[in-house]
Amino acid sequence: MRPGTLLLCFSSATRCCSALDALSDAAGGALVFQSVSTDVYRNLAAEDWLHQNLQPAQEALLLWRNSPAVVIGRHQNPWQECDLRLMRERGIKLSRRKSGGGSVYHDLGNFNMTFFTSRQAYDRRRNLETVLAALKRLRPSLDVSATDRHDLLLSGAFKVSGTAAKIGRTSAYHHCTLLCRSDRTALSSALRSPYWGIRSNATPSVPATVKNLCEEDPTLTCDVVMGAVAEEYTRCHGQPNRVLLIDPDNHLTLPGVNKCAEELRSWEWVYGKTPKFSVSHCFTVDYNLSRAEVKLNMVVNRGSIESCNIEMLSDWLPAELCHQLASNLIGARFCPTETTVLASAHLRAWPRQDDELQNRQRQIPIHYVQTSDTERRGEVVQHFPDHPNPVPRVHAGLDV
């Protein structure tokens, strides 16, 4: 934070004060909160908590950062938006927020701003003007501007911030990221889906070329820029430059936040809220010294397989076995752990098969697992900054 900013901690051992007290003491003045957590589920829960507990007329700003994570929009398909296998290998979390918009990569090199207002006072442009004014005061030579889509561009070409929002009956919030010194290689890799053959009406992300503010000015860190935004926000609202620290890990400061965090962390929310989609995948198998084609078609609804059809030569795998295998997958979660268990159980149910027939059956789940490589548990910006031809969102076949 910048010099002169007063930090009040509502989560320390010496003073554990409820955020509700801060809201009741605000007397209508705008507030600035900063989360001390870097857990994406906890921070999204804190955001939702403030949205639910702020009075409609109470304006506030929440500043927060996350350890590596991909955050998809409420109406998006994670299989279309990101590389789930790579994310699992690198420990990058996947989360689904409650606002719309596109997918974004978070790490400690960028930070997030959530502007809370009444529905009537909701104004994305005003919020972005606050951010632009903060950057201008901080570094007058920095060329950052807002677009009609409410993105922020560096030098008129590179996206450094994008926008999403949630508008309720009486209240609303607008949130955006700001790239300071994010890992662009990880960003590009995580937000490039390798999965083909998915057809869906889910909201697609819009690819953009991005850049970090530190690439223009190496002295710009997240702490420096966050402090400038907090100072500008309080100045615009005629309030003292004061930031209230909140700890989403402490349910005493945000009563009920634990339940919300667990919901946001659950498989049912992260994957189960995916809009209905279909998967079509063709692959070849060894057959009589040549190759035979197998077609796998599925419909996935709420993260579970609603229908499954497998087409192949009947003398490669008997139709009865093929039909039974497809039937066993219906109702299963679209993830490798569950389907591998089901496929193994199916093989055990047919103990008299010869080794070759069992091997053929195993090939089908192996290819299926590659299409559904998710974890068992479960716009803003940043798409393919180093990729000249972004991958289209609806593909003709699975690249496995």
Place of tokens 């309080």: 234
Q: Assess whether 47 and 13 both reside in one domain.
A: yes
C-alpha 151/C-alpha 154 separation (Å) is 10
Distance CA 98, CA 151 (A): 20
Domain count, the chain: 2
Calculate what percentage of the chain has a pLDDT beyond 70: 74
Last residue of a domain, one of 243, 270, 297: 270
Statement to judge: residues 111 and 170 lie in one domain: yes
Question: CB within 8 A of 57, min separation 6: which ones?
Answer: 28, 118
pLDDT in tens, 220-232: 999 999 999 999 9
> pLDDT confidence of 281, banded at 50, 70, 90?
confident
392 falls in which pLDDT band (50, 70, 90)? very low
390 belongs to a structural domain: no
H/E stretch holding 22 reads helix 19-25
Question: What pLDDT does residue 372 have?
Answer: 57
pLDDT at 368: 53
Which CATH number characterizes residue 71's domain?
Answer: 3.30.930.10
Higher pLDDT, 18 or 59: 59
Q: Tokens 């089901």, residue?
A: 342
Domain containing residue 121: 6-270
Residue 299 and residue 222 share a domain: no
Query: Same domain for 252 and 350?
Result: no
Mean pLDDT of the 2-31 span: 54
Co-location of 188 and 227 in the same domain: yes
pLDDT surpassing 90 at residue 395: no
Q: State whether 184 and 326 are in the same domain.
A: no
Q: Is residue 330 domain-resident?
A: yes
Q: What is the pLDDT of residues 339-364, one digit of tens each?
A: 555 555 555 554 445 555 555 555 55
Q: Is residue 397 part of a domain?
A: no
* pLDDT of 194 strictly over 70: yes
| Same domain, yes or no: 303 and 210 | no
* 100 belongs to a structural domain: yes
Q: Are residues 103 and 143 in the same domain?
A: yes
Question: Based on the domain organization, do 195 and 288 belong to the same domain?
Answer: no
Least confident of 43-52, 251-260, 323-332: 323-332
Which CATH number does the domain housing residue 292 bear?
Answer: 3.30.390.50
What is the rounded distance in angstroms from the CA atom of residue 400 to the CA atom of residue 397? Answer: 9
Q: Reduced to 3 states, what is the DSSP secondary structure of residue 10?
A: coil
Residue 393, pLDDT above cutoff 60: no
- Select from 205, 236, 270 the last residue of a domain: 270
Residue 216 · residue 88 · CB < 8 Å = no
Is pLDDT at 116 greater than 90 in this prediction?
Answer: yes
Q: What pLDDT was estimated at residue 284?
A: 76
Whole-model pTM? 0.82
Same domain, residue pair 324 and 262: no
Q: Is 242 exposed, middle or buried (0-12, 13-18, 19+ CB in 10 A)?
A: middle
Domain membership flag for residue 184: yes
Residue 311 placed within a domain: yes
Q: Which two tokens mark 378?
A: 């479960």
pLDDT in tens, 56-105: 889 999 999 999 999 999 999 999 999 999 999 999 999 999 999 999 99
Residue at a domain's end among 270, 287, 319: 270
